[in-house]
């Protein structure tokens, strides 16, 4: 019985911390939060004070690089403005870009 409760507790803890948290490498990972939006798309939140660049690797498409301003949340899109489903996320590499966020156009 104790073993069952331990397994249930560990399962809940794993679900609460998020499956994506352990799949991020780099110094900026401590300020990045991975989740999904209402449509099930992969969403990344930058909780830090520095801008960051995250390269996301998915099961179905190649690497996708996203720049996220400090305090912002971005949805990850592949070509054609199709969002990447959160279920396809495999891993990511995150780094700080520093300076002021300036989108390239």
Residue 99 is predicted with a pLDDT of: 59
Top CATH class, 20-96: mainly beta
pTM of the complete model = 0.72
Please list, residue by residue across 96-105, b when 16 or more beta carbons sit within 10 angstroms of its beta carbon and e when fewer do.
Answer: beeeebeeee
Phi, psi of 40 (to 5 degrees): 85, 10
Q: What is the mean pLDDT of residues 64-81?
A: 93
Find the mean pLDDT for residues 92-102: 78
Residue with tokens 């990344």: 44
DSSP 32-100: EEEEE-TTSBEEEEE-SSS-EEEEEEESSS--EEEEE-TT-EEE-EEGGGEEPBGGGEEEEEEEE--S-
* Alpha-carbon span 80 to 69, nearest angstrom: 23
Could you say which DSSP state residue 26 is in? S
- Percent of the chain exceeding pLDDT 70 equals 72
pLDDT value of position 85? 94
Checking if the pLDDT of 13 tops 50, the result is no
**In terms of pLDDT, which residue wins out, 104 or 53?**
53
More confident of the two residues 48 and 6: 48
Q: What is the DSSP letter of 10?
A: H
**Tens-place pLDDT, residues 17-65:** 344 556 999 999 999 999 999 999 999 999 999 999 999 999 888 899 9
């Amino acid at each position: 019985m104790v073993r069952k409760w331990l397994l249930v507790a560990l399962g809940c803890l794993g679900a609460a911390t998020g499956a994506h948290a352990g799949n991020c490498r780099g110094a900026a990972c401590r300020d990045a939060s991975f989740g999904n939006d209402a449509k099930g798309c992969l969403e990344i939140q930058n909780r830090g004070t520095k801008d960051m660049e995250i390269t996301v690797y998915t099961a179905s498409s190649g690497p996708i690089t996203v720049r996220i301003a400090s305090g912002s949340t971005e949805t990850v899109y592949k070509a054609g403005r199709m969002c990447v489903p959160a279920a396809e996320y495999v891993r990511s590499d995150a780094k700080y870009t520093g300076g002021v966020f300036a989108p390239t156009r």
